Amino acid sequence: MTGLVVAFAPSSGAAGTHAPVRMPDVVGKTRAETFAVMRADQLFFSTHGSGSNNGTWVRVIAQSPAPGTLVAYRSTVSLTVSVGVVHQPLPAPNLVGLSRAKVYSIMKSYQLYFTTSGPGASNGTWKSVVGQSPFADTLIKWHSFMHLEVSRAVPHSKRAVPKVVGDTRAQAVAAFEAAQISFNARGLGAANGTWNKVTGVAPAPGTLVAWHSTVVLKVTTVSATTTTSSTTTTSSTTTTTYPGETTTSTTTTTLAPTTTTTAKPPTTTTTVRKPSKSKDYRIGIATWYSYIPGQCATWYLPIGTRLVVRDLATNRAIVCLVTDHEASRGDHVVDLSETQFAQLESLARGVIRVKVSW
């Protein structure tokens, strides 16, 4: 059903000499809001859908062209309208790490549209989502667009947050390495790495999270105590002398055990760097290339070295295994797979500054 073209009174002067304007986002807006926005941008529009022929429509459910598209000044755009109730904003779904088929299913159920960029986006051969805009849980309009950064890499299944509450530092590190999940420690001793006990995890243990995602550990430093028990035995000798003889008797007195509690001061761990030609970390730039997720390349470390790569701008970190050698030298410290680079920054950035530890 097609309605009339809505036009506003033009002012004098040639419209063709005016600079193009960007198409506003009117999806989800009411009829009154749409008129106000289009009038402000000096654009005309035609309506299609229920209520368009008699002006009883109450909301816009789609538009052409898409928001942000440059259109000619005072040109006519197309709006699809409805007489239904205006939908409220809804939280954006979390699509990172999901397969292509799963993304289509979720977006259809949410009644949202999306655009893609990255390897496989141009010909529809992408297999997983490595980034999205807006972020998950951001309130967005019904029938609006999301942008997805995609990859040809096969998506990894989600991992359960390990149960580490009450564990020592060594136990927690081992558990998270086994689950291939990263963590940020917060609390007493977190800043200098002297914490020795986990007091909490967010999200809760057992929660399914994306592969190589980061959770928060609440930690503390617990002082060790030593209890010593000692028993003291006191002996006394009494000698009684009578005419013609001497008698000696011995009395033994045992005191109750004395308990002494000695509180040791908090243990401070000092790490002394071993003297060698190589350092334990390097700071430089990281790039990405189409490679196996979880694996990376350097020019200065042997194959099989496990790295922690931390984005100096965001403090996000990932773990990867050196399985390839790169030709670059200098401050080029690591080449990441496109999947792991996207966990630190957008693939569009191309180059980021990082700290590589091993």
**DSSP tag of 284:** E
Per-residue confidence in pLDDT tens, the chain, 358 aa: 455 555 554 444 445 578 999 999 998 888 999 999 999 999 999 999 888 988 889 888 889 999 999 999 999 999 998 887 666 788 899 998 888 999 998 998 888 999 999 899 999 899 988 889 998 888 888 788 999 999 888 777 788 999 999 999 889 888 988 887 878 788 888 877 788 999 999 989 999 887 767 788 899 999 865 444 444 444 444 444 444 444 444 444 444 555 555 555 555 444 444 444 445 889 999 988 888 888 999 988 999 999 999 999 999 999 999 998 877 677 889 999 888 898 999 888 888 999 999 8
Whole-model pTM over 0.85: no
The owner of tokens 């000695």 is: 262
Tokens of 84: 């239904």
- How far apart, in whole angstroms, are the C-alpha atoms of residue 336 and residue 293? 8
Q: Could you give the percent of the chain with pLDDT greater than 90? A: 33
Instruction: Give the burial string for 181-208 (b: 16+ CB within 10 Å, else e).
Output: bbbebebbbbeeebbbbbeebeeeeeee
For residue range 14-58, list pLDDT tens digits in order.
Answer: 455 789 999 999 988 889 999 999 999 999 999 998 889 888 898
